[in-house]
Amino acid sequence: MRSNIWWSAFGTIVPLLAAVVAIPPLIKAMGDARFGVLSLAWVLVGYFGFFDLGLGRALTHFIARQSGDGKEEKISAIVRSGITLRKR
Give per-residue pLDDT as tens, 39-57.
Answer: 999 999 888 777 777 888 8
pLDDT bin (cut points 50, 70, 90) of residue 74 is confident
Question: Sign (positive/negative) of CA torsion 26, 29, 30, 36?
Answer: positive
Judgement on whether residues 2 and 40 belong to the same structural domain of the protein: yes
How far is residue 19's CA from residue 46's CA, in Å, rounded to a whole number? 15
Judgement on whether residues 36 and 1 belong to the same structural domain of the protein: yes
- pTM of the predicted structure, to 2 decimals: 0.53
Residue 24's nearest CA partner among 35, 33, 10 is: 35
**pLDDT value for 87:** 65
Residue 85's nearest CA partner among 62, 55, 60 is: 55
Range of the domain at 60: 52-88
- At 29 the three-state DSSP class reads helix
Judgement on whether residues 7 and 45 belong to the same structural domain of the protein: yes
Task: Check: CB of residue 69 under 8 Å from CB of residue 85.
Answer: no
Q: Indicate the number of domains in the chain.
A: 2
**pLDDT value for 18:** 95
User: Is it the case that residue 8 has pLDDT exceeding 80?
Assistant: yes
Task: Check: CB of residue 63 under 8 Å from CB of residue 75.
Answer: yes
